Amino acid sequence: MKCPICGREVLPGGNFCDRHSAAYRSLLEGFKKWGKAMKIGWREYLKALVDNPNTGQWVKEVARHLAEEKA
């Protein structure tokens, strides 16, 4: 199985490659803290990440992927 974002090999049992899996985990962690504090929903959170120039490249790619997936 290949990472749906970059096409690299996916670790067994994972949805993304190692880099994007790590980004996905930090994205979820961020939503738990930040999403609650800001009172925003999942989709708004993803959009905010993509629009934020300070978001890391890997996290941004995951956020964009998730936003499209659930559209």
Binding stretches for Zn ion (CB under 5 A): 3, 5-6, 8, 17, 20
Phi, psi dihedral angles at 24 (to 5 degrees): -65, -40
Of 14 and 41, the one with the shorter C-beta distance to Zn ion is 14
- What's the min distance (Å) between Cβ of 5 and Zn ion? 4
And the tokens for 27?
A: 């994205």
For Zn ion, the closer CB: 45 or 62: 62
Residue of this chain nearest to Zn ion (CB atom): 3
Indicate the residue among 3 and 66 with the shorter CB distance to Zn ion: 3
CB of 30 to Zn ion, least distance (A): 18
Residue 3: other Cβ atoms inside 10 A:
21
Token representation of residue 56: 């890391």
Q: Which of 71, 54, 50, 51 is nearest to 62 (CA)?
A: 50
